[in-house]
A and B are shown apart, each in its own frame.
Chain A
Amino acid sequence: MSVAQQAKKKEIVDDLIDLLSAEQVNTNEEDLYEASVDRYKKFAYARNAVDVPKPAAIVYPNSSEEVSSILEFCNQQKINVIPRSGDTSTEGGLENWKENTIIIDAENLDKIVDINTYNMEAKVQAGVPLEELENALREKGFTTGHSPQSKPVAKMGGLVATRSIGQLSTLYGGIEDMVIGLECVFPDGHIANIKNVPRRAGGPDIRHIAIGNEGTLCYITEVTVKIFKYYPDNNKFYGYLTEDIETGIKVLREVMVNGYRPSVARAYSEEDANQHFYHFSKDKCVLILMAEGPENIVEATGEAIEEAVEKFSDGIIEEVDSELIENWFNNLNWSQQDIDDEYEGMIENDSHTGFTTEISANWETIPVIYNNVMRRIKEEFPRAHELTLLGGHSSHSYINGTNLYFVYNYEINCAPEDELRVYHHPIHKIIVEETLKQGGSMCHHHGIGKYRSEWTKEEHGSAYYMLEKLKEVFDPNDIMNYGSIFPKEDGIKKYINKEK
């Protein structure tokens, strides 16, 4: 870093301290190194081979008004801002591509404002951990219904900003179905509060400007979500070994189109099943369902599951002990300890726990995408002989289609800084290309981040016009999370393709 750059960073830090307080401005080098990337560059991070600049500081506002002051200041000074809340991003959404950047972390926005069990809503600040809210609700006999794998680490603002989805989404919906209202702050300092009502026809639904904006348009400071009654004693679990993943998907479709909503609905390829269910999968594909809710609904859903399984019994090999499925369900989430353990492993070994790329499409198209992707990776990926895992599963279903979670891992025989472009990117590219070619969506729930921004225009087609206009209007100085969602040629060349 040049002397001028260092001086500029110091100036930014001094100004931020004047604006907030010294305690709210973190310039610890280790923390800044960690804040320069997210889990996308996990291997390079663990090996000290990160190639992006460190931010100048991480700031911790205490209120929406302070968020407003910070954004106004950054907007005037044209300083890049990366909003952060939870830090579990996997697609480069929290990666920094600008020399003059600050991270606004929601750590101090940590209050559960209100839980109203009569109106069935909970209002929380952005930095409230999902698990904290869930635990508070469980004490009262309620649940958020939101349970992403990152539940023990994720925070509410980040979940909303990335259009998160939970493992029970087939019943409860994605976060976009749960958010009733929210408060967000725009780069010019304007604080917008979207009120909480059951439904309204007051023009376009402006919640969706903030939900999923990935910090590129505004900073979410507070959200109100629906809550649900919690009936853990009624849970019923179903598991089957299937001949192929198509059978599993057919059963999922049958249950969905008949009007039932299991909370868990998953079909795994044999390779992926082996990862999670090696103790019972016998190298076969696995189908898992769970019925949840009031007793009579659980009963009816269970019957519908059994009928669907019966209809496709030619592809069902055997039923799995439901206790095994329940046990799997009770250990679904990964914790901070799991993340730390993976980092320790990556320091010592040339390997990690793998990558995923999640897409969605309608029922007809999903098997086509799955088979084409499998074939193309095996035929076209130059390092196919080093693959140690290639498979996938469907884990979130809708009446008109489902998602696919491609999972892959490989032996790493190149330098840590080259791992992504040698292994991950070529595989990721095939999945995205094939999905878009078949008319699916390239990102079901991880967001676009920076590493799918190359295809944002193709993802949205003629509707990209609407996205682009939002960016122009709300962030005219382009200070919000440079490189995320909206493609930036210089960043793509430098940090993805590593062109010199």
Chain B
Amino acid sequence: MKIICLVKYVPNVEDIKYDYEKNILIRDNVKLILNPDDACAVAFALELKEHQPEHEIEVITMGPKSVKPFVEDLLRRNVDKASIISDKLFAGSDTYATSKILSHYLKDKEFDCILTGTNSLDGDTSHIPSQIGELLGLNQMSNITKIDLARFKKTKAVIEVENGENVLTYAMQLPAILSLRKESDYKLPYIEYENMSLDVSDRLDIISNQELGLAKEEIGLKGSLTKVVNTYNKNFEEKDKVVVENNEEGIDFVYSFLKKKGFV
């Protein structure tokens, strides 16, 4: 079976800092991480390959070329092939334009299943998998928390999907797009010590728009249906500072505060 994993590298939100003087978010030096839902998709594919080595896995990601070391590490974990779709012309693409770019690349590819995440940490719209499904004429399912490994076949997958408080089991005809959630808890395998510096350049392609040949009007800001009228940073009200001691009273204060805010 040929499995394509569609992944995204997202800014680690914990690294985003706030400039208190200018009231702006500082995105410089923010580290990129593999989107947790997408990591589960790759992890499942690799688990499958571990049991049945004949499966072929290709990872596809769209983003800046700076994701290269992270993608190389996926190849070192036993992914067979990877492609980074990257071009300055793609900058500013909304989910619609992004789906068009990815679908354009995928339409000529042979595959039996596309695995991806449900939500991304940054955008969180969950548009891309279903839009690609629409553009490629494939069924798509979100919020998958489990894929039955033993019953994952070329023409059918048995999946568990979270639906409110219920978990529903579906049998889905393949090819299709299966979108996992991080709660599926599939873990990426470790990179073996011997492979830590393995040269994987022969298995990694960088694809630009020169290869894809999309018209400038279809991509980037011009090709996006989403029109941004304005962006602004939310200004936070200055609150009175409260300093508590590290004692029973202080702990009770913090606990009550968190409870009031709904964090505990």
- Option from A282, A283, A330, A421 in Cβ contact (under 8 Å) with B193: A421
Q: How far is the CB of B1 from chain A (nearest CB, A)?
A: 26
**Residue pair B26, A414 in contact (C-beta under 8 Å):** no
Q: How far is the CB of A128 from chain B (nearest CB, A)?
A: 26
Within 8 A of B (CB), among A55-86: none
Q: Answer whether residue B69 sits at the interface, using C-beta atoms and an 8 A cutoff.
A: yes
Given known A282-B20, A388-B31, A414-B191, contact A323–B197 (CB-CB < 8 A) = no
**Residue pair A414, B197 in contact (C-beta under 8 Å):** no
- Number of B residues near A (Cβ < 8 Å) is 17
- Option from B17, B70, B190, B246 in Cβ contact (under 8 Å) with A283: B17
**Residue pair A413, B73 in contact (C-beta under 8 Å):** yes
A422 to B73, alpha carbons, bound, how many Å? 13
Given known A283-B26, A413-B73, contact A323–B191 (CB-CB < 8 A) = no
Q: How far is the CB of B217 from chain A (nearest CB, A)?
A: 35
Given known A283-B17, A385-B70, A415-B190, contact A422–B196 (CB-CB < 8 A) = yes
Within 8 A of A (CB), among B173-216: 188, 190-193, 196-197
Residue of A nearest to B32 (CB): A385
Residue of A nearest to B66 (CB): A385
A413 to B192, alpha carbons, bound, how many Å? 9
Q: Answer whether residue A296 sits at the interface, using C-beta atoms and an 8 A cutoff.
A: no
**Residue pair B193, A415 in contact (C-beta under 8 Å):** yes
A56 to B17, alpha carbons, bound, how many Å? 51
A138 to B243, alpha carbons, bound, how many Å? 26
Residue of B nearest to A415 (CB): B190
**Residue pair A385, B69 in contact (C-beta under 8 Å):** yes
Q: How far is the CB of A290 from chain B (nearest CB, A)?
A: 18
Residue of B nearest to A383 (CB): B196
Summed over the interface, the residue pairs from A and B with CB atoms below 8 Å come to a total of 32
Within 8 A of B (CB), among A247-285: 282-283
Contacts of A415 on B, CB cut-off 8 Å? 190, 192-193
Contacts of B31 on A, CB cut-off 8 Å? 388
Q: Answer whether residue A327 sits at the interface, using C-beta atoms and an 8 A cutoff.
A: yes
A385 to B32, alpha carbons, bound, how many Å? 9
Contacts of A383 on B, CB cut-off 8 Å? 196
**Residue pair B243, A414 in contact (C-beta under 8 Å):** no
A418 to B243, alpha carbons, bound, how many Å? 43
**Residue pair A382, B197 in contact (C-beta under 8 Å):** yes
Q: How far is the CB of A90 from chain B (nearest CB, A)?
A: 24
**Residue pair A327, B73 in contact (C-beta under 8 Å):** no
Q: How far is the CB of B193 from chain A (nearest CB, A)?
A: 4
Residue of B nearest to A417 (CB): B193
Contacts of A324 on B, CB cut-off 8 Å? 243
Q: Answer whether residue A331 sits at the interface, using C-beta atoms and an 8 A cutoff.
A: yes
Q: How far is the CB of B155 from chain A (nearest CB, A)?
A: 34
A24 to B70, alpha carbons, bound, how many Å? 53
- Option from B69, B73, B188, B193 in Cβ contact (under 8 Å) with A418: B193
Contacts of A327 on B, CB cut-off 8 Å? 243
Q: How far is the CB of A259 from chain B (nearest CB, A)?
A: 34
Contacts of B246 on A, CB cut-off 8 Å? 330-331
**Residue pair A414, B190 in contact (C-beta under 8 Å):** yes
**Residue pair A413, B191 in contact (C-beta under 8 Å):** yes
Contacts of B190 on A, CB cut-off 8 Å? 413-415, 418
A310 to B146, alpha carbons, bound, how many Å? 62
Within 8 A of B (CB), among A309-342: 323-324, 327, 330-331
A423 to B54, alpha carbons, bound, how many Å? 32
Contacts of B26 on A, CB cut-off 8 Å? 283
Residue of B nearest to A331 (CB): B246
Q: List 29 A-B contacts (CB under 8 A).
A: A282-B20, A283-B17, A283-B19, A283-B26, A323-B243, A324-B243, A327-B243, A330-B246, A331-B246, A382-B196, A382-B197, A383-B196, A385-B69, A385-B70, A388-B31, A413-B73, A413-B188, A413-B190, A414-B190, A414-B191, A414-B192, A414-B193, A415-B190, A415-B192, A418-B190, A418-B193, A421-B193, A422-B193, A422-B196
Residues on B facing A (Cβ under 8 Å):
17, 19-20, 26, 31, 69-70, 73, 188, 190-193, 196-197, 243, 246
16 new A-B contacts at CB < 8 Å, known A283-B19, A413-B191, A418-B190:
A282-B20, A324-B243, A331-B246, A382-B196, A382-B197, A383-B196, A413-B188, A414-B191, A414-B193, A414-B196, A415-B190, A415-B193, A418-B193, A421-B193, A422-B193, A422-B196
